[in-house]
Amino acid sequence: MRNRTAIVAAATVMALLVTGLAWAAADSTTSESETNISIAVGQQQTIPVDTAGSVVLLRTDTQLQILSVIPNDGYTPEIEVAAGREVEADFRGEGRRVEFNAELEDGVVRVRIEIENDDNTGSTGSTSSTGSTSSTGSTSSTGSTSSTGSTSTTGSTSTTAGNANVPNGNVTYSMGAAGSVTINFSNGVMSLVSV
């Protein structure tokens, strides 16, 4: 029974950690727009990409080609796919990523623009520690679930993924009478070490 309780506790801790990381990663907002445009074969057209800049497209019989990308002040462009039935470019700047996608389908050019805003632009909140750190008391996650026990971390530093602090090394969670759970964090990967 004790073993089963420890396994359930370990699964709960893993679920809380994964959920916490997912919530931290969801700190951005995204909007998307889609428009169909007509470009004659052999013609080029300049398409505005929100406030990030513009893309000059050329249409042939069977494909599209990005001829140039013109960024507005504060943005850096990157062409991901320059030619084909579908072309892509990104603009990054001012705390935003603006993605341009154009696809040639049945003679019509479908243009999609996706804008990802970082809600936490300008905020810094990373913590790092060296050596072995331990803390006793209550550990809780944002939401309606909390666990009480002690946590000890053995490792050299913590890694910031977005705005979520993810430790490197082993983290041991004490589950009271059920025992303890040790989880290893390495390069953003969690693995169960012991129960």
User: Could you tell me if 126 and 160 are in contact, meaning their C-beta atoms sit under 8 angstroms apart?
Assistant: yes
How high is the pLDDT of residue 191? 78
pLDDT at 150 over 70: no
Q: Round to whole Å and give the CA distance between 60 and 37.
A: 15
| Average pLDDT value over all residues in the chain | 73
| Distances 121 to 53, 71, 103, 117, 163 between C-alpha atoms, Å | 21, 20, 31, 8, 10
Angle at 150 between CA 147 and CA 7, to 5 degrees: 60
Q: Which helix (H) or strand (E) holds 10?
A: helix 2-25
Q: Round to whole Å and give the CA distance between 185 and 7.
A: 18
pLDDT at 104 over 80: yes
Q: Round to whole Å and give the CA distance between 13 and 17.
A: 6
* Domain residue ranges in the chain: 2-26+124-194, 28-118
Q: Half-sphere exposure (CA, 13 Å, Cβ side) for 56?
A: 8
Fill in the amino acid letter for 37.
I
Fill in the amino acid letter for 134.
S
How high is the pLDDT of residue 189? 73
pLDDT at 157 over 50: no
73: Cβ–Cβ under 8 A, 6 or more apart, which residues? none
67-99 pLDDT, tens digit each: 999 999 999 999 999 999 999 999 999 999 999
Fill in the amino acid letter for 124.
T
φ and ψ at residue 126, rounded to 5 degrees: -110, 145
